[in-house]
Amino acid sequence: MVDYPDSADLLEPLPDPPEPLPLVIGPKLAPFTPMAHADIEFIKELGNPEQDLDSRVWEVKIDGAETHYALKIFYFNHYGYLSQSSGGYMSRRLASRQRYIDFFDPFNCECRVYGRLKQEEREDLAVRAHGYLLLTPEQEDELCRMIEGIDYDEPVDPDKNGNGTNTWGRWEQHHHLPLRAIVKDLATHPDPFKPAQITDMWKDLEELHGLGILVRDITVFNYYNAKLIDFSRAWTWPHPSLDAITSYHLKDQLQRDPGGLEDVIVEWGIDMRWNWDEVEISQDLQDCASGKGEGERGPFGVDPRLYDWRKWEEDLVAADEFMEHELYAEVEEAEDEWQS
Does 339 score more than 80 pLDDT? Answer: no
Give the end of a domain, one of 188, 211, 240. Answer: 188
**Residue percentage of the chain with pLDDT more than 90:** 76
Q: By C-alpha distance, which of 260, 198, 200 is closest to 233?
A: 260
Same domain, 225 and 166: no
Q: What is the pLDDT of residues 196-241, one digit of tens each?
A: 999 999 999 999 999 999 999 999 999 999 999 999 999 999 999 9
Does 191 score more than 80 pLDDT? Answer: yes
Same domain, 141 and 199: no
Question: Which band of pLDDT confidence, cut at 50, 70 and 90, is reported for residue 162?
Answer: very low
Same domain, 123 and 221: no
* Residue 334 belongs to some domain of the structure: no
Same domain, 21 and 80: yes
Phi first, then psi: what are they for 172, rounded to 5°?
A: -55, -40
* Residue 107 belongs to some domain of the structure: yes
The count of other CB atoms within 10 Å of the CB of residue 173 is 20
* Residue 298 belongs to some domain of the structure: yes
Phi first, then psi: what are they for 269, rounded to 5°?
A: -65, -40
Q: By C-alpha distance, which of 51, 53, 61 is closest to 186?
A: 61
Does 50 score more than 90 pLDDT? Answer: no
Same domain, 131 and 202: no
pLDDT the model gives residue 104: 97
pLDDT the model gives residue 190: 82
* Residue 315 belongs to some domain of the structure: no
Taken in order 183, 185, 190, 196, the sign of the CA dihedral is: negative
Same domain, 147 and 283: no
Same domain, 295 and 164: no
* Residue 207 belongs to some domain of the structure: yes
- Supply the range of the domain harboring residue 302: 190-307
SS3 call for 205 = helix
The C-alpha atoms of residue 42 and residue 142 are separated, in whole angstroms, by 9
Same domain, 58 and 178: yes
Same domain, 137 and 196: no
* Residue 329 belongs to some domain of the structure: no
Same domain, 176 and 196: no
Instruction: Specify the number of domains making up the chain.
Output: 2
Does 263 score more than 90 pLDDT? Answer: yes
* Residue 312 belongs to some domain of the structure: no
* Residue 327 belongs to some domain of the structure: no
Same domain, 161 and 242: no
Same domain, 124 and 253: no
Question: Which band of pLDDT confidence, cut at 50, 70 and 90, is reported for residue 335?
Answer: very low
